[in-house]
Structure 1
Amino acid sequence: MAAAQAPAETRQQELGRQGEDLACRYLEGQGLVVLSRNWTCRDGELDVVAVEGGRLVVCEVKTRSGPVWGRPDEAVDQRKLSRLRRTALRWLAAHGVGWCQVRVDLISVTWPPDGKAHLQHLRGA
């Protein structure tokens, strides 16, 4: 009997993963060190956790294929930012890291199906 196969990634999941891959390459090119990806706890998920100098940088990555669902950055409101901050505190505790500066960044990726990706990095969202 053959093992059950995991369901195929949806187009949106694949686009989101590709956007996160691009964001990580970009961050590493900017000198940041990526520590975690898609870290989850009861408060939520952190797409990318990186370090820049002595500062922890939590990056929310939003990827869109076009304007149908609005600009990627429009999906992050104050409630989402608060959740990201709480989740970052959980990440620090889970990894045994004492207090450190934490910055929340937003990386917006627009990647049309037949075009080149456009990345925007907003520091300190």
Structure 2
Amino acid sequence: MIAVQNPNKISTNGLGRYGEEVAARRLAEGGLCILERNWRCAEGELDIVALDGDTLAICEVKTRSERGFQQPAEAIDRTKADRLRHLAERWLVERWPIHFSRLVLAAEQAWGVEPRPDAESGGPAPPPPGGVRIDLVAVVNPRRGAAAVEHLRGAV
């Protein structure tokens, strides 16, 4: 027997990619600076890493179709929340110094300040002044029209 897929149905992977694209656009429109998308390591993936002012926002994107039985927020249980916290810590150790030095260089250039010789060294970077929070971006894809997007700050 050959299974035929409904051509009007978006695959789960396709729906997820669509949701992440919509979420990134909405976050940027809301003033967040997207630092990375789909950062991966051996232990998992972070969908979106962004700066919200001086706060580092780790954004988990959950996308569902309008016909789905589960709301996006219901997909984050204790295990998933713990894993997101661990991945956020790992991202801070591995990636924050690089982004921090780039942000410092950009600020120095914008202010007309002579760049420091160690600005690109990737040396010790202070933690984000506003701390780190884990957000949920819930995207619901309706049958028709634009997706509904809800950004829940500090949801985890």
Q: TM-score, length-normalised on structure 1?
A: 0.85
> How far apart are 1:24 and its partner, in Å?
0.6
Q: Select the structure with the greater relative contact order (CA < 8 A; seq sep ≥ 6).
A: 2
- Residue 112 of structure 1, CA deviation: 2.4
In the alignment, residue 72 of structure 1 is paired with which amino acid?
A: P
Q: How does 1:84-95 map to 2 (within 5 A)?
A: 84-95=84-95
Deviation at 1:67, TM superposition (A): 4.1
* Paired residue secondary structure (2:144): coil
Equivalent AA in structure 1 for residue 148 of structure 2: H
Gaps of 5+ in 2: 1-9, 98-124
Deviation at 1:96, TM superposition (A): 4.6
Q: In structure 1, what is the Cα distance between the partners aligned to 2:68 and 2:25?
A: 26
Larger radius of gyration: 2
The secondary structure found in structure 1 opposite 2:26 is: helix
RMSD, matched Cα:
1.5
Runs of 4+ in 1 over 4 A off after TM superposition: none
CA–CA distance in 1 between the matches of 2:89 and 2:64?
A: 28
Shift of 1:113: 3.5
Tell me, in whole angstroms, the C-alpha distance in 2 between the residues paired with 1:119 and 1:29: 12
Structure with greater strand share of residues: 1
User: Whole-Å Cα distance in 1 between the matches of residues 36 and 26 of structure 2?
Assistant: 15
How many residues end up aligned between the 2 structures?
Answer: 116
CA distance in 1 between partners of 2:24 and 2:35 (Å): 10
Q: 1:96 to 1:34 in 2, by over 3 A?
A: closer
Query: Does structure 1 residue 122 correspond to structure 2 residue 113?
Result: no
**What's the TM-score once normalised by structure 2's chain length?**
0.69
Cα distance, 1:14 vs. partner? Answer: 1.1
**Match for 1:52: what amino acid?**
D
For the pair 1:104 / 2:134, whether they are aligned, the reply is: yes
Inter-partner Cα distance in structure 2 for 1:66 and 1:74: 15
After TM superposition, list the pairs within 5 Å mapping 1:61-76 onto structure 2: 61-76=61-76
